[in-house]
Amino acid sequence: MAYASMLYFLTYNMARTDAFQLIGGLVIIACAGIVAAQPAWVALARRIGKKPVYILAAAGYGVAYLGWSMSAGAGTVVAYAFSFVAAIFNSGWTLLGFSMMSDIAGDDQAHAGLYSAAWIAVDKVGFALGGTLLVGLVLSGFGFDAARAVAGQPQTDVALTGVMLAFGVVPALLNVSSALLYWRFGRA
């Protein structure tokens, strides 16, 4: 959801006329955060375990996006910083999610292919529909006007709240909720 709504957030909440250019820099910063953090997540997981590191990373990602969504007026440097921090945590929960999936498949080799197929199917459908569909529902629910957007006109304050929720608050709540559910019910 955060990625699917980022251009909306940059354009409307951060009031950036150069959102398409800004997103390029944010992606480069995020890539740097992801690459830099991977070895640290591996080392930390080896030291204290995959489950607590996954929970830390998922919760950290949610908190980073929540903070970013509440800081729209803070400027470009702050956006770059949030992009970097969010990417570090994104790197951790993504890496650990894939790693734990292979652990589960390795523990039940008779069904490893089924686990892999289910993971790939859900992952692809989630990326294809999940974020964009949820963003569309939130924006529609808060009155975002696509015709006004095409005409270059401003959105209502309620619509801007919807953009902020779609960009940072809902993804943060989903990530923190998943971390809490995994902490409570997930296997180690």
In tens digits, the chain (188 residues) has pLDDT values of 888 899 999 999 999 999 999 999 999 999 999 999 999 999 999 999 999 999 999 999 999 999 999 999 999 999 999 999 999 999 998 888 878 777 777 777 787 778 778 777 877 887 777 788 899 999 999 999 999 999 989 999 999 999 999 999 999 998 889 888 888 887 66
Cα separation of 160 and 15, whole Å? 11
Write down the pLDDT at residue 112: 73
Written in H, E and C, the secondary structure of 117-162 is HHHHHHHHHHHHHHHHHHHHHHHHHCCCCHHHHHCCCCCCHHHHHH
10 in Cβ contact with 16 (< 8 Å): yes
The whole-model pTM stands at 0.85
CB 32 within 8 A of CB 150: no
The secondary structure element, H or E, covering residue 160 is helix 157-164
> Which amino acid appears at position 95 of this protein?
L
- H or E stretch at 14: none
- pLDDT at residue 79 in the model: 96
Give helix then strand counts, H and E, for the chain.
Answer: 9, 0
Q: What pLDDT is attached to residue 131?
A: 84
> Which of 147, 138, 143 is CA-nearest to residue 165?
138
Res 188: pLDDT: 60
Report pLDDT for 48: 96
Q: Which residues of 133-154 are buried (b: 16+ CB within 10 A; e: fewer)?
A: ebbbebbeebebeeeebeeeee
